[in-house]
Every structure is written in C-alpha cells, then in structure tokens.
Structure 1
Amino acid sequence: MEQPFTAWVGIDWADTKHDICVQAAGDTRHESGCIAHQVEAIDEWANALHRRFGGPIAVALELAKGPIVAALQKYDFLVLFPINPATLAKYREAFQPSGAKDDPADAELALDLLVRHPERFSPLRPQSAAMRSLTSLVERRRQLVGDQTRLTNRLCDTLKQYYPQALEWFDDRGTVLFCDFLDRWPTLRSVRQARTPTLETFFHAHHCRSTRRISARLASIRGATALTDDPAIIGPCRLHVLALVAQLRAVLAAIVQFDREIARVACTLPDYALFETLPGAGPQLAPRLLAAFGEQRERFRSADELQKYAGIAPVTERSGKKSWVHWRLQCPKFLRQTFVEWAAQTIPRSFWAGTYYQQQRAKGSSHHVAVRALAFKWIRILYRCWQTRTPYNETVYLKALGKRSSSLLGKLGLSG
C-alpha cells in the first residue's frame, strides 16, 4: 500500500454479472455500474478504466482465485486485494443490522473497506506457474478421491440389495480388480456359471497370486446362495452396478493421471526436497504439504500465523468471567485437512509423534483432537525447516528435545 493508487474499485462478483463501484483518488464520490461476465465485456471495462485513470488501480473483491480473478490478473495496472467474505459480511451487518443485502451495496462496501482500512489487506501476489499448477492439481485430485469414495459407497449399497457376496470376496472395493470382476460377472448367477480355470486366470491376470485366497473365493462362489431371485430387483440393480462401475473406472483412471502429473510438477520445484522425505508424507501428501507452504516465505511471518490460517490453532473467546476454546470455523478446509491427514500418518512413523499422540489420548483427548494437537506441533517444526531450507531430521529434533529436557524423552526412553 506504499504506492499511490489513481482509483479504487470494489467488485461484487456473480456467475453472470459483476457489480462495480469506482472512486477516483482524492475524491469521495462513488460511481456504480455493472458488467457482464463475458471476456469481451471485462476486457472493455478494464481498458476503459485504464484510459481514464491510468494506473495503478486498487481492486477489492471477495475472491483470491476464480474466473474473475484470472481475468483481472492479465492487466498489470490492476492490483487485486482479496477480502474475506466473512469480513465483508460483518462489515455489512454493522451498518445494516436488518440483514438486508444487495450486490451493488456489497461492491460499495468492499470499496469502502479497502479505502478506510488499507493496512488490513495485502495485495494478491501470484506464485509461480508451477506452484499454482501443483496447488490446483492436488486440490482437484482430492476431489476425485472424494468421488471415488462416494461411488464406492453407492456401489456397495446397490450390491447389498441383490449380490452381497461380492462385497465379501473383496476387501478393497475402489480398485480396477473390483470393477473388472463386476463388469464380467454382475450377478451371482453369472459368476457361478463361470468355469474354475476362467476364474483362476482372471485373478492371476490381476496380480492376485495367493493360492489360499483364490481357493477361498472359489469355494465361497460355489457355495453361495442367492439373496433373491426376483428379476424386478436383480435387473435394475445389475444395470445400476454396471453404470457405477463405469463411473468408478473413469475416476480411478483420472486419479492415476493426476498422480503422474503431480509427480512431474512437484519435482520441478526446489522446495519439494524438504517435504518428500518427511515421515508418512509419501507421493500423495508430500506435494500437498509443499502446496500448503508455497514458495513465498514472507507470506507467513511466524509459525503462529500459519497455524491460525490453516485452522489448526484453536480459537479462544472471552467475555466477562467466561472463557471457552473451540476450533476455527473459518479457514481453508483443504489446507487444514492436509495437515491433519499427514499428522495422522506420522504417528506410527515418528518416535516422538507417536509418543506425543499417546500423551494426548492419556489426557482424555479424542483421536481427532489428539491428531490436531500433533499437527499444531508439526507445523512449528516444518515452518522452521521451510524458512531455513533445511530438511527435517528426526535425530536432530530429538537432540533439541533433550536440550529442553522435554518430557517426551522420558517416554521415548532417551532421557539418559
């Protein structure tokens, strides 16, 4: 905010149009307008703004990413300032306790908030193309994993209606093996009619070499009794299963493609070496941790800021003699999920992490609370490694605990 702006703009975005409020520097008058969400309309508006005011021009909007942000980032004379939607909502509520809301008014409020409190907001500074690509890849891969889970649950529910034995024969249902089996034998009658050599060849082709497991499956298939013979149940359910299998197969293939692209992009980023060797990180969580920290080390001035931003640090509220602590409701959910999921993976793979988790459980904390507490502690460690560009070393950290006479050392049997 050290540079002088020639104009200030507030934008309330929507799918089909965007309400605009403009104020020239040194003026108090507001000009309201509306532009369609079309590439040509946005380009015409931005260029007209530049011809009129020059630059730079400050733009306040409720997004840090999205179509309108991508469209405006093309113009170097626009400086974007993301405003948290919750902040704008509270600001609106301060002047409109009735709860009334209007898009043009929100654009004016966003403008007013940025003009009156410029020190509260930071300009949007995009990271490198590779880092932004990795961030988008890991987020979209996680969405595909969610689709896999939903499709698998729907598939299991349908099989329970007429073909529950298939669920007994396969423990892992989100696999190509399970899809291929149901594609070929979508009913109990069809699989019972299959010859034993055919079934054995099928399992061998899918890298299932355990003679004991194959024999158990074959014996169960030969001795299975149909749940129902009603064609009104079997026919529709069979079609539904085949439809779900086709969708699940496509999602599984997409996840494999995403894994390959994530591995390719992550290796091009120099900081990836800091995360790929972390305990429990692996090829899925290491890129997510790298994307969580990013490459702008000045973005977080301390580990405490990152803990709060990620939603790992609890919130304390005090009023009079009352005080209560709860977890953060407003935070990037995927970011918090990344730290929590990884912290859970470190419990059996890091000596001190497993001991710390057990200490939290012994105090009466639930599993999820204990894992979040462990994630809180891990963030402080990783932040230090990230800032100094030093890979994490368990031995070095245990020695640091010894210098502080940490109670964990006694639990680990390393106090001597």
Structure 2
Amino acid sequence: MKSARNTLPEEPVNAVTAGLDWARDDHAVSIVNARGREIARCTVEHSAAGLRDLVTRLGRHGVGEVAIERPDGPVVDTLLTAGITVVVISPNQVKNLRSRYGSAGNKDDRFDAFVLADTLRTDRARLAPLTPDTPASVALRRACRARKDLISHRVAVANQLRAHLRNAFPGAVGLFAELDSAISLAFLTRFDTQDRADWLSPRRLATWLASVGYSGRTDAAVLHARLVAAPRGATGPDATTNAQITHALLAVLTTLVDQIKTLSSQIADQLAAHTDQHIFTSLPRSGTVRAARLLAEIGDCRARFPTPEALACLAGAAPSTRQSGKLRTVNFRWACDKQLRDAVTDFTADTRHANPWAADLYQRARARGHDHPHAVRILARAWLYVIWHCWQQGTAYNPDQHNALQRLLNPNGQQAG
C-alpha cells in the first residue's frame, strides 16, 4: 500500500505566492506575482493582533500559499486555520537558494522572505504542502521531547554532583550503581558529609537501608566496605560548607527525577489513547517511551511519507550519495530530522538483542567492517521499511508475517502459523 504524495497545483492561487521569514519578535513577509516581482512587503509583530493583521494582508492580495522555514508554532497554526496552504522550506535550503539572486550571501530577513516566496513560485514540482499531524500526535511529540530534554539536564546535574562529591565526599560516588537513583539520593540527603557517614557501621547501615525500603541485592556489609575503602572526604567546618552545595545539587536533581517520572506517566497515558499505539508497541523492545517517541516523531499523517525511502532519508538512515564523473562517494547523511534519527536508532540498536533478523543484519554489517553507529543505521533503514508498511496499513508488527525473519528462522521454507 502506497499513499499518493500530497502535491501543489501547477499554478499558485491567484498567481501570487508569499514567503514568511519567522523570527522571535516579528516576521518579515514578501508577496510576489507570477513574474517573480515583489508586489508587497511588510513586517508583522509576533502577537495576536500581528497575526490577525498577517492574515488580513495576505487575504487582501489573494495569497493562498505561504512558504516558511519551520513546520510548527503559532504562525503556522494561524495560517492553517485561515485556510492558507503552508509549504516548509528548510533553513539549509534557503541558505543555498540565496546564491540564485546574488553572490554576496548576506543574511537579511526581508530578502529571505522574498527568496521563500519566489522559490514557492518556481520550484513547485519539488515542494509539498505541509500536512500536519493530529493534535494527539503533536501533544505526544512535545511531551517526548520535553522528557528527553529533562533527561539531558538530569545527566548534566548528576555529573556536576559527582564532580563535587569526588572532592567533598568520595565515598558516596561509587556506593550505589547510579548516583541519581532513589536510594543514592536518599543516602546523600541523610549522610551528606564524611562526619555523618563515619557514624555508620554495617549494622546501622543495614537498619537504615531497611527503613527506606532498599531493594538492592548488595549486602549492607559490602556497601559499608565500599564506603570505608574510599578516600576520606572533608570534615569539620569545611564539610558543612560543602554539604550546602551537595543539598543544592540534590534539590535540583531530585526535582528533575520526579518530573521525568511525571512526564513518563503522562506519555504512557497519551500513548494508550492514540489510535496508532498498537503499531509501535508491537515492535520488539519498543516498550512505552520508545514506542511513544517513534510514533511522535513519525507522526500519523501518511501522506508525509509516500514511500519507505522518504522516511529513511528524513531519519538519516539512508546514506547520501554524490557522483561527479568517475568519482562516486557515499557519505553520512547530515541533513535529516535529528529527533527522528535519535528515536529510530535508539530503538533499532536494542532490537538486535531480541530479534534474530535484526541481530543477523547487525552482525553482517559489523563483519563488513562498519563500526557500531554505522551498523545501527543500516539496521535502522531495514526496520524503517518494516515500520512504514505496518504504519501505512495500520497493522501491528507480527513476526510470523515478517518474511525475512521467517526465512532466517526456517531456512527450509516452512513458514510459521
């Protein structure tokens, strides 16, 4: 099953096109006619009144299509609500298109708006109108990206706390498996200095661990031995000063951990309510967050990816080939959706531990001399073909219907089921 690509009409509505260069405080707008001449130019504020004025100005000139550099935000929502077709042209493309109109290459918002408008007029066959996802997918994408950002902050704060403790209280650094785990945070809250940790004995530590519900498998005597074997930290007034820094970092880290849990719970609820959740949760090792990220980044608009190749290219899983004369090079694809690539490679890297077909593809790529990231991208491209077909057909992944997997499992040709 292949969905037809959403295309622009051969001629723009009313023979005019517009370009909008988005900025934080105001937006430059340019309107060109069928001959490529600019017939209107303005700047609108990024406010409710300014966006209403934008729609009015566009309507006054009969504009039905607007080119812009970003696919989301209040400006795009306003244009779509007004029934105006939105076409997204990436900033990298705009940067290269400037050379059409001069060699200086200077960056100017008003000029970029004209470049966007004129490109929409001349390159219509290579452009496609923006087809937004449903509100459920948009909300899930925002939640997943917010959680990912919080995790990055958590890692940074945990590293900062670890660096501080190596000087102030080294024994706490390697005591538990993870410094940002619940038991580690509880320990540092109670025993924030070397002086307080010196009070502990194997029995006292065991009693405290039981009081906080420690479920780890490491015996209290082993943990106490780690604490004693570590270099001693600061004591006395110096320890008290360092403890204030420890508690400040603990407060930030604890808040981040709690908010990540809250967002994870919210993501699980949003995923369960989504109409496409059965497709992505059926994938091996997808879990909840991974399935949600895949769904959120791919979206639910089937027309966005008319072929599996289109999905693989945007995800950065397909290499970039360049050829000039007899010289042909295959390079890493830098121009892609970084969020989508991260979601796809995170998923595919783990499937090799659960799916024999994925493990075989990965191992054959490594045997050809590719490093781990390259092998994962090769595997990601193969998985995207599978995901695309499931996504287009609205069906869950079924290993028994995966022909390549079945051929590997049953080399004699006996299909499962």
Same fold by TM-score, threshold 0.5 exceeded? yes
Shift of 1:303: 0.8
**Which residues in structure 2 correspond to 1:7-406 (within 5 Å)?**
7-23=16-32, 28-50=37-59, 52-53=60-61, 57-76=64-83, 78-194=84-200, 199-210=205-216, 212-221=218-227, 225-229=231-235, 234=239, 236-398=241-403, 402=407
Mean Cα deviation higher: 372-381 or 179-188: 179-188
Structure 1 stretch displaced more, 215-224 or 130-139 = 215-224
Deviates more, 1:342-351 or 1:122-131: 122-131
**Cα separation, 2, equivalents of 1:316 and 1:212:** 52
* 1:287 CA drift (Å): 1.0
1:406 aligns with none
Preserved contact between residue 390 and residue 396 of structure 2 (Cα < 8 Å): yes
Q: In angstroms, what is the RMSD of aligned CA positions?
A: 2.5
| Cα-to-partner distance string for 1:180-200 (whole Å, 9 max, x where unaligned) | 221222212212225766633
Identity of aligned residues (%): 28
d(CA) in 1 for partners of 2:29, 2:195: 65
With over 3 angstroms needed to count, the CA separation of the structure-2 counterparts of 1:362 and 1:45, relative to structure 1, is: closer
**Secondary structure of the equivalent of 1:170?**
coil
Change (3 A) 1:283 1:136: same
Q: Distance in 2 between matches of 1:36 and 1:308?
A: 36
Maintained 8 Å contact 1:5/1:25:
no
Q: How many residues align?
A: 404
Q: Cα 1:120–1:399, aligned 2, differ >3 Å: closer, same or farther?
A: closer
Relative to 1, partners in 2 of residues 1:124 and 1:210: Cα closer, same or farther, differing over 3 Å?
A: closer
Q: CA deviation at 1:306?
A: 0.6
- Following the alignment from structure 2 to structure 1, what is the Cα–Cα distance between the partners of residues 29 and 113? 6
Counterpart of 1:110, as a letter, is L
- Tell me by how many angstroms 1:201 deviates: 4.2
Contact 2:285 2:351 in 1 (8 A): yes
**TM-score, normalised via structure 1 length:** 0.89
Write out per-residue CA displacement over residues 71-90 of structure 1, whole angstroms, 9 at most, x where no aligned residue: 434423x2211111111110
Give the superposition deviation at 1:38: 2.0
- Give unmatched runs, 5+ long, in structure 1: 403-408
What amino acid sits opposite 1:40 in the alignment?
A
What's the CA shift for 1:125? 2.2
Cα distance change, pair 105–367 in 1 and its aligned pair in 2 (3 A): same
User: Does the CA-based 8 Å contact 1:9-1:59 persist in structure 2?
Assistant: yes
* Residues 208 and 244 of structure 1, relative CA distance in 2, 3 Å threshold: same
Query: 1 CA distance for matches of 2:354 and 2:379?
Result: 13
Q: Spell out, residue by residue over 1:1-28, the C-alpha distance to the aligned partner (whole angstroms, 9 max, x if none).
A: 3385244221112111211112356883
SS in structure 2 of the partner of residue 281 of structure 1: coil
SS across alignment from 2:375: helix
Structure 2 match to 1:5: 13
CA shift for structure 1 position 229: 4.7
Question: TM-score, normalized by length of structure 2?
Answer: 0.89
- 1:235 Cα shift? 5.0
1:313–1:328 Cα contact (<8 Å) kept = yes
Contact 1:192-1:221 within 8 A present in 2 as well:
no
Structure 2 CA distance for partners of 1:391 and 1:105, relative to 1, 3 Å: same
Q: Partners of 2:53 and 2:216 in 1: how far apart?
A: 66
Distance in 2 (CA, whole Å) between partners of 1:206 and 1:319 is 67
Contact 1:161 1:237 in 2 (8 A): no
After superposition, the Cα gap between the structure-2 partners of 1:152 and 1:324, relative to the gap in structure 1 and judged at 3 Å, is same
Which is further off, 141-150 or 24-33? Answer: 24-33
Letter paired with 1:5: V
1:244-293 Cα distance to aligned partner (Å, 9 max, x none): 21111111111111111111111122221111121110011011122233
Change (3 A) 1:114 1:295: same
- Tell me how far apart the structure 2 counterparts of residues 17 and 85 of structure 1 sit (CA, whole Å): 17
1:276-316 residue CA offsets vs partner (Å, 9 max, x unmatched): 12111001101112223322222212111110111110011
CA contact (8 A) 2:202 2:220 kept: no
